[in-house]
């Protein structure tokens, strides 16, 4: 750890509400690296290539100037990451399977990488898939909006639609809330991850 460099960079990070972040020299690339509060690589600040892991005062002074300039250019993205990370840390992670009123509810979603023309990066898009509810020996398959798609019994025999029993409204409501909670959390998680990926790959 380049202790003097870290001490010199910290007031700049504090100035932009990045108190929990820290700066150091990447052991292999020798570039100035920013790390997240949990110790993950946050971003590389290009412009100075350190000759050793214990930099000179001239290198430190130059690095701090580059750091502040880099933060100013990416401040909106950094703020979006910090805001998303704080929300993620405050949000309880929902489970995909829950039990409610004697029913077993399982929600599923899909993840696909799509090309973002504005950021010129792949972003992860999360979309709801379906909901499975096991209740009174029957298995109900619903779409993401809780519209009924199929019903089978414990022997995998499909029920005639005319004889199918409707699920209690409270169970349907619980299923929808669980789907919404899982989607909200996963979309927030992928958003934070996408921002981190964008900062890790930028070279300006």
Q: Is the pLDDT assigned to residue 163 strictly greater than 50?
A: no
Give the residue extent of every domain in the chain.
3-73, 97-201
Identify the band that residue 154 occupies on the pLDDT scale cut at 50, 70 and 90.
Answer: low
Least confident among 20-24, 120-124, 170-174: 120-124
Sheet-wide strand order for 148-153: 97-100, 103-116, 121-135, 138-143, 148-153
Model pTM? 0.71
Are residues 74 and 199 in contact, defined by beta-carbon separation less than 8 angstroms? yes
Phi, psi for residue 144 in degrees, rounded to 5 = -65, -15
Q: Is the pLDDT assigned to residue 183 strictly greater than 70?
A: yes
Characterize 9-41 residue by residue with b for buried, 16 or more Cβ atoms within 10 angstroms of its Cβ, and e for exposed.
bbebbeebebeebbbbbeeeeeebbbbbeeeee
Residue of 115 and 74 predicted with greater confidence: 74
Rounded to an integer, the average pLDDT of 89-102 is 89
Rounded to an integer, the average pLDDT of 68-92 is 89
Q: What mean pLDDT is reported for the chain?
A: 84
Q: Is the pLDDT assigned to residue 49 strictly greater than 90?
A: no
């Amino acid at each position: 750890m380049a202790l003097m460099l870290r001490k010199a960079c910290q007031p700049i990070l504090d100035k932009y509400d990045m108190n929990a972040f820290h700066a150091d020299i990447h052991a292999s690339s020798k570039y100035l690296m920013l790390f997240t509060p949990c110790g993950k690589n946050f971003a590389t600040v290009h412009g100075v290539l350190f000759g050793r892991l214990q930099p000179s005062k001239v290198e430190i002074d130059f690095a701090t100037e580059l750091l502040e300039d880099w933060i100013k250019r990416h401040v909106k993205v950094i703020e979006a990451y910090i805001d998303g990370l704080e929300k993620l840390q405050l949000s309880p992670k929902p489970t995909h399977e829950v039990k409610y009123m004697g029913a077993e509810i399982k929600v599923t979603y899909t993840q696909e990488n799509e090309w973002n023309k504005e950021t010129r990066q792949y972003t992860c898009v999360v979309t709801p898939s379906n909901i499975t509810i096991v209740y009174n020996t029957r298995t109900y398959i619903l779409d993401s909006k809780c519209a009924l798609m199929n019903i089978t019994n414990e022997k995998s025999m499909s029920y005639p639609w005319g004889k199918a029993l409707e699920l209690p409204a409270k169970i349907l409501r619980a299923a929808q809330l669980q789907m919404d909670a899982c989607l909200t959390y996963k979309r927030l998680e992928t958003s934070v991850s996408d921002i981190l990926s964008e900062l890790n790959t930028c070279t300006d």
